[in-house]
């Protein structure tokens, strides 16, 4: 058995495949390569993999006429279906990084990030702010695979069937994506991590930004949770018009000002987390590399106002 990490690389452009293979070998990884959905499937079935790098635009079979993002999405979902489980830090135990020329496949990339893809690698590779080898190393760290010795064991754990969340029945399809809500990792533009916690203590609701807890009033917390929810589960890419935020904060523009003050007090520059289109809409920023929100837990939140805000949203969805 190899004592090096083994990547599944699915890429139909031979030049790009060679470029990536070069990088993988230079960091001491082995790889198996396929150029189609069918080929990727066969390698996935063989097992022995530590992580996957999946191009979106691939062919069905090697001799198919044209590549299509549908094939890439299908393969990603099959990878995720085979390795669905996450660790205690909410990271997939088997990381699947998707690759795309983003701009023309923007919708598909967003769909797959929503479906839990662990990182996004932009093509051409020189356009990534975070180098591909760094993204791979981080993905391996997230899944606890700093060393290959534990990979077989971790892959076994990754493959076990996840317990179905009790609240899954009757939720909107988007809310069924993951047992703990879902993560939206977008590494291309930054590194922030926002975790919406279901904790109520010291008279505050809590979020976690890059490992630093920030206590918010229930109203402000609901606004942050709404923005996170819109980013992870929403249609479009997370913009919420102020009235939607205000409806739940019921304090109009003051609500946003207060939220910004509370974030600042907690040491989080609000502009680093929230984007304002200057036309009345807000969203959680791209720079929030990963957003974790568990809607089912918010439904059970200790604070009644939070419970109500998210309980009614789920029913309406
Ligand atoms: Zn490994």
What residue ranges do the domains of the chain occupy? 6-159, 193-314
Distance CA 53, CA 56 (A): 10
C-alpha span between 101 and 67 (Å, rounded): 13
Ligand 1 centre and the CA of 37: distance in Å?
23
- pLDDT tens digit at each of 317 positions of the chain: 568 999 999 999 999 999 999 999 999 999 999 999 999 999 999 999 999 999 999 999 988 888 888 899 899 989 988 898 888 888 899 999 999 886 667 777 877 877 778 888 888 888 787 899 999 999 999 999 999 999 999 998 888 654 433 333 333 323 323 333 333 333 223 457 788 888 888 889 999 887 778 899 998 999 898 888 877 766 556 777 776 675 554 445 678 888 999 999 888 888 888 888 877 788 887 666 577 787 778 888 889 888 888 875 444 33
Half-sphere exposure of 168 (CA within 13 A, CB side): 12
Residue 163's pLDDT is 40
């452009």: which residue's tokens? 13
Give the C-alpha separation, 199 to 101, whole Å: 39
Query: Rounded CA gap, 314 and 298, in Å?
Result: 11
In Å, what is the CA distance from 107 to each residue of 53, 73, 237?
19, 11, 9
Residue 48 alpha carbon to ligand 1 centre in Å = 8
Q: Tell me the CA–centroid distance for residue 6 and ligand 1, in Å.
A: 6
29 Cα to the center of ligand 1, angstroms: 8
Specify the pLDDT at position 294. 79
CATH number for the domain whose boundaries are 193-314: 1.10.10
How far away, in angstroms, is 4 Cα from ligand 1 center? 6
Q: Whole-model pTM? A: 0.53
Assigned token pair, 135: 């993204």
Going by their DSSP bridges, the two strands 119-122 and 95-100 should be labelled as parallel
Please enumerate in sequence order all residues whose Cβ is within 8 A of that of 56, keeping only pairs 6 or more positions apart, or say none.
69, 72, 73, 98, 99, 100, 105, 108, 109, 112
Can you give the pLDDT at residue 182?
39
H/E stretch holding 304: helix 304-316
Among the four given CATH numbers 3.30.70.330, 3.60.20.10, 3.40.50.10420, 3.40.50.2300, the one describing domain 6-159: 3.40.50.2300
What is residue 116's predicted lDDT score, i.e. its pLDDT? 78
As given in the structure block, the two tokens for residue 14 are: 């031979």
**Residue 138 alpha carbon to ligand 1 centre in Å:** 13
Asked if residue 159 lies in contact with residue 83, where contact means CB atoms within 8 angstroms, the answer is yes
């Amino acid at each position: 058995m190899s004592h090096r990490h083994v990547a599944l690389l699915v890429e139909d452009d031979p030049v790009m495949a060679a470029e990536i293979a070069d990088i993988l070998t230079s960091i001491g990884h082995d790889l198996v390569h396929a150029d189609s959905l069918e080929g990727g499937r066969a390698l996935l079935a063989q097992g022995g993999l530590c992580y996957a790098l999946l191009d979106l635009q691939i062919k069905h079979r090697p001799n198919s006429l044209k590549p299509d993002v549908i094939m890439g999405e299908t393969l990603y979902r099959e990878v995720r279906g085979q390795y669905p489980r996450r660790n205690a830090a909410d990271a997939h135990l088997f990381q699947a990084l998707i690759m795309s020329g983003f701009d023309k496949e923007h919708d598909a990339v967003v769909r797959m990030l929503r479906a839990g893809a662990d990182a996004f690698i932009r093509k051409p590779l020189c356009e990534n702010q975070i180098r591909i080898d760094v993204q791979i190393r981080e993905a391996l760290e997230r899944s606890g695979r700093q060393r290959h010795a534990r990979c077989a064991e971790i892959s076994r754990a990754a493959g076990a069937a996840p317990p179905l969340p009790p609240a899954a029945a009757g939720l909107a399809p988007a809310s069924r994506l993951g047992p703990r809500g879902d993560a939206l990792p977008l590494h291309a533009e930054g590194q922030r991590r926002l975790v919406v916690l279901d904790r109520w203590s010291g008279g505050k609701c809590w979020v976690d930004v890059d490992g630093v807890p920030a206590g918010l009033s229930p109203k402000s917390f609901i606004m942050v949770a709404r923005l996170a929810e819109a980013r992870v589960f929403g249609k479009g890419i997370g913009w919420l018009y102020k009235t939607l935020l205000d409806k739940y904060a019921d304090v109009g523009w003051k609500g946003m000002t207060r939220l910004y003050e509370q974030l600042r007090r907690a040491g989080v520059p609000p502009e680093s987390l929230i984007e304002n289109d200057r036309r009345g809409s807000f969203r959680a920023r791209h720079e929030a590399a990963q957003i974790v929100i568990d809607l089912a837990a918010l439904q059970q939140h200790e604070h009644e106002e939070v419970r109500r805000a998210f309980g009614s949203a789920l029913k309406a969805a």
